[in-house]
Amino acid sequence: MGLFRNRGHAGRLLARKLRVYKNKHPLVLGIPRGGVPMAKVIADALGGDLDVVLVHKLSHPEELELAIGAIDDSGNAIVTDYAARVDPEYIESEKQRQLAALRQRRARYTPLRQPIDPQGRIVIVVDDGVATGSTMVAALRAVRAQTPKELIVAVAVASPEAARAIARECDAAFCLKVSSKFPAVGQFFADFSQIEDEEVISALQHGEAPPTSAAG
Query: Mind listing the domains of the chain with CATH numbers?
Result: 7-54+118-214 (3.40.50.2020), 55-109 (3.30.1310.20)
Model confidence at 148, pLDDT cuts 50, 70, 90, reads: very high
Q: Is the pLDDT reported for residue 15 higher than 60? A: yes
pTM: 0.84
Model confidence at 79, pLDDT cuts 50, 70, 90, reads: confident
Model confidence at 75, pLDDT cuts 50, 70, 90, reads: confident
- How far is the first Cα of the chain from the last one, in angstroms, to the nearest whole number? 17
List, for residues 149-172, the tens digit of each pLDDT value. 999 999 999 999 999 999 999 999
Model confidence at 10, pLDDT cuts 50, 70, 90, reads: very high
pLDDT in the model for residue 1: 52
Model confidence at 2, pLDDT cuts 50, 70, 90, reads: low
For residue 23, what are the contacts with CB-CB under 8 A and spacing of at least 6?
46, 47
Instruction: Enumerate the β-bridge partners of residue 70.
Output: 57, 78
> Bigger pLDDT: 182 or 25?
25
For the beta carbon of residue 122, count every other beta carbon within 10 angstroms: 19
Q: What percent of the chain has pLDDT over 70?
A: 94
- Measured CA to CA, the distance from residue 91 to residue 195 in angstroms comes to 30
List, for residues 84-96, the tens digit of each pLDDT value. 899 999 999 999 9
- Measured CA to CA, the distance from residue 102 to residue 82 in angstroms comes to 22
pLDDT in the model for residue 155: 98
- Compute the average pLDDT of residues 196-206: 88
Helices (H), the chain: 7-17, 35-46, 88-109, 134-144, 160-167, 197-206, 211-214
pLDDT in the model for residue 140: 94
